[in-house]
Amino acid sequence: MYGNTSLTAEEAKVMNAAVEDPEKLAVFEARITRGEKIEPGDWMPEQYRKQLIRMIEQHAHSEIVGALPEGTWITRAPNFRRKLALIAKVQDEIGHGQLLYSAAETLGKTREQMLMDLLSGKSKYSNVFNYPAKTWADIAVIGFLVDGAAIVNQVINSKGSYGPYCRALERICYEESFHLKQGHDNFVYLATGTKVQREMLQEALNRWYRPLLHFFGPSDRDSQHSEKLMKWKVKLASNDDMRNQFLDQYVPKIYELGLTLPDPELRRGDDGIWVFGDPDWDEFKRVINGDGPCNAERLEVRRYAELAHRWVREALINPKERYVTPMA
């Protein structure tokens, strides 16, 4: 998922052991229970602040890095209309990154620091962007299914408790719905096109099936998650629930075009729960820890951008200005 809330056992321990002022904590939790939003100037537990920065920052990095595989296809889009749509989508993704950096910034970490932590590898981004977009059909699959998965995640997160993050997400979800529609349009055109186009799409679908199952994070059985994060409405749905919602919404839209998914065990149970074959969680772990097909390349491109354009940013900085954390 975009903003990951899975914790390691060690992190969960620290989180659960954190001690807060009980009176302030009670007022804070009562506000969340009443459905109120928490705003930047409000008192909040240290762990709430820390986990939100981590989640929103990861989400922001995902938007920025997510634009990279698609960006490479702008010059190779098959026609002018597709090129216009792709440019608009990539610009939106970068804009989403900026909106999210701003939201995280209200919690006290500067945008520059977040960008540096991305380059150094300290901060993560969504695993799904460590896979290559080999053909134009990959762009159709990303636009339709990766964005579809992102929307499932983001609509849920927009019901969270932190005001600036929710406001950014509302705007993002509105623009993402354009991404999804243009992705679906592209997907349907290839699926209903020539034999070569259909084959190209089927191959792309086969490539992306596993990364898409990985998108929502490890199974609930194997992931550490904190009751506190649920109670504080930082995390709003379990990984398995979100994955199931995604399969429920999108698998029928793949099948109706006569396409297949490379998993003989995939089926919807009578209880509405999707069953799927082992998606190889070891691969997921390998890729998350840096050993995916594109991890090094993605960071190299970011480093290139940072180095090649540093002089621009240095020229923009006015040394007489005083930095103030934004408020909303």
Partner 1 sequence: MSLDPRINRLDLKRVNDGEQTASHLVTWEVFHQEKRGKQPVHAGIVHASTPEQALMFAKEQFARRGKTANLWVVKTADVYTFNSEDEAIFETTPEKTFRDPAFYKVRERIEAFQAKNKL
Residue 262 sits in the site that holds partner 1 (CB under 8 A)? no
Site string for partner 1, 37-56 (x = CB under 8 A): --xxxxx-------------
Euclidean distance between CA atoms 307 and 32, whole angstroms: 43
Residue 258 sits in the site that holds partner 1 (CB under 8 A)? no
The one among 98, 206, 223, 224 contacting partner 1 by CB under 8 A:
98
Is residue 162 classed as helix, strand or coil in its secondary structure? Answer: strand
Cβ-based nearer residue to partner 1, 78 or 279: 78
Euclidean distance between CA atoms 161 and 171, whole angstroms: 16
Residue 102 sits in the site that holds partner 1 (CB under 8 A)? yes
Residue whose token pair is 């807060």: 20
Task: Report the DSSP beta bridge partners of residue 274.
Answer: 268
Site string for partner 1, 277-306 (x = CB under 8 A): --------------------x--xx-xxx-
Task: Report the DSSP beta bridge partners of residue 242.
Answer: none
CB proximity list for 320: less than 8 A, separation 6 or greater: none
Site string for partner 1, 130-169 (x = CB under 8 A): --xxx--------------------------------xx-
Contact 289, 277 (CB under 8 A): no
The one among 18, 30, 116, 275 contacting partner 1 by CB under 8 A:
116
Binding residue count for partner 1, defined by CB under 8 A: 52
Contact 52, 169 (CB under 8 A): no
Contact 201, 141 (CB under 8 A): yes
Residue 108 sits in the site that holds partner 1 (CB under 8 A)? no
Residue 89: which of 185, 158, 177, 165 has the closest Cα?
A: 177
Euclidean distance between CA atoms 18 and 20, whole angstroms: 7
What length does the chain have? 328
Residue 328 sits in the site that holds partner 1 (CB under 8 A)? yes
Return the range that interacts with partner 1 (CB under 8 A); candidates 6-14, 50-58, 65-73, 150-158: 65-73
Residue 122 sits in the site that holds partner 1 (CB under 8 A)? no
Show the DSSP H helices in 72-194 as ranges: 80-105, 111-120, 136-141, 147-157, 163-191
The one among 46, 112, 222, 280 contacting partner 1 by CB under 8 A:
112
Minimum CB–partner distance for residue 196 and partner 1 (Å) = 20
Residue 25 sits in the site that holds partner 1 (CB under 8 A)? no
Is residue 161 classed as helix, strand or coil in its secondary structure? Answer: coil
Residue type, 280: D
Q: Which residues bind partner 1 (CB under 8 A)?
A: 39-43, 68, 71-72, 75, 88, 91-92, 95, 98-99, 102, 105, 110-112, 116, 120, 132-134, 167-168, 171, 175, 297, 300-301, 303-305, 307-308, 310, 313-314, 316-319, 321-328
